[in-house]
Amino acid sequence: MSERTSDVVLSVKNLHVSFYTNRRCNKVLRGVSFDIRRGRTLCVVGESGCGKSVTANAILRLLPELSRIEQGSVSYWQEGGQEIRLDQLKKNGREMRALRGKDIAIIFQDPMTALNPVYTVGRQIREMIRQHRRGMSRRELKRESVRGLAAMGIPAADIRDGEYPHQFSGGMRQRAMIAMAMSCNPRILLADEPTTALDVTIQAQILDLMKKIQQEEGMSILLITHDLGVVAEMCSRVIVMYAGEIVEEAPVDILFNHPSHPYTIGLIASVPKLGSGVKVLPSIPGSVPDLSMLPKGCRFAPRCKYATERCHNEEPSLFEVSPQQKCRCWLAEPTGKEDK
Ligand code: SF4
């Protein structure tokens, strides 16, 4: 049994995940730990390839065949307080399938590939409901799928219910995915870039919708994004990931006003600010390292303007900057105190 405070509904502890390809081992997650609290939104930010989606998929055991959870734990607490170790369940066993969609739902990044093109949108929503809310008649199922689409602001939901994914616009497909995810009133929603590639008005509508559902249902959200505007709008707490590790963790206001890690500082500096007069936005040089050939020492060192010899040789721990903020950087090292 894991220790927890009463409002924690999901806890990831020291999670290590590797992908094995062509006899190479890619350590895609290394020592990732965080808690998701009831009714709160935790954001995970970082560039593509930093391990955000793998983290969400690892929670629901949706990782590809050639991957392995090397160590760590994922604990989920049910309504009555019973702990379930998701990392110990069979990937596609009865218990895991019973939890997926009902207790913990996921919105995938690309709705076009996540939705089945040969079934109508309504049928796919009904299939989700049928699996977890047994005993409903066909008419009741139909009423529920139409209600779900209407709740997502899809006009003429009764007609749209009978249409195929290719007949929906990008924004409507995303809403259909959310309708499907919400159809069984999950306690936790894992939203993987739910507004990527949508125009700003649709993005605002979808985020408002998620907030409304969260307030009404007390749902917890793990929101994965690379968009700091979305973070500011949605989150209470933020995790910044880089090359498979958490490099900074803080409440949203502290992260924006007092970022501590050079990577976070670079990310925030690269966001355009209205009226700032800046013509060319600063960028972080270089790119995320190949996970099979990680640098020795700090993973960010090849791109960091503050890197010293120590950074290239010794890996920093996740240091406590303040009781609410942690940072994986030697510059944040307190005197003799660290939190691995
Ligand atoms: Fe930069 Fe060194 Fe901090 Fe890494 S440990 S982020 S290289 S200053």
Q: Tell how far the Cα of 51 is from the centroid of ligand 1, in angstroms.
A: 19
CB contact set of 194 (below 8 Å; sequence gap of 6+): 107, 174, 177, 178, 206, 210, 223
Q: Which residues form ligand 1's pocket by a CB distance below 6 Å? A: 262, 298, 300-301, 304, 306-307, 311, 316, 329-331
Q: Tell how far the Cα of 28 is from the centroid of ligand 1, in angstroms.
A: 20
What's residue 29's pLDDT? 94
Closest among 30, 15, 11, 31 to 77, alpha carbons compared: 11
- Measured from the Cα of 304, ligand 1's closest atom is 1
- Measured from the Cα of 299, ligand 1's closest atom is 4
**Which residue's CA is minimally distant from atom 5 of ligand 1?**
329
What's residue 209's pLDDT? 80
d(CA 253, CA 308): 29
Q: Tell how far the Cα of 43 is from the centroid of ligand 1, in angstroms.
A: 23
Q: Tell how far the Cα of 305 is from the centroid of ligand 1, in angstroms.
A: 8
- Measured from the Cα of 301, ligand 1's closest atom is 7
Q: Tell how far the Cα of 256 is from the centroid of ligand 1, in angstroms.
A: 19
Q: How far is CA 23 from CA 19, 26, 147, 231, 292, in A?
A: 10, 10, 49, 38, 11
- Measured from the Cα of 312, ligand 1's closest atom is 7
Q: Tell how far the Cα of 200 is from the centroid of ligand 1, in angstroms.
A: 35
d(CA 210, CA 27): 33
Chunked into runs of 10 residues, the chain (340 residues) has average pLDDT values of: 74 94 86 94 91 93 89 93 90 87 87 86 93 86 93 90 92 88 90 79 81 88 90 91 96 94 91 69 80 88 94 95 95 68
d(CA 5, CA 86): 19
DSSP state of 289: P
Pocket probe for ligand 1: among 294, 311, 321, the residue whose CB has the most ligand atoms within 8 Å is 311
- Measured from the Cα of 316, ligand 1's closest atom is 5
Q: Tell how far the Cα of 312 is from the centroid of ligand 1, in angstroms.
A: 8
Count of H helices and E strands in the chain? Answer: 12, 12
Closest among 124, 126, 120, 194 to 160, alpha carbons compared: 120
Pocket probe for ligand 1: among 240, 304, 313, the residue whose CB has the most ligand atoms within 8 Å is 304
Cα of first residue to Cα of last residue in the chain, in angstroms, is: 21
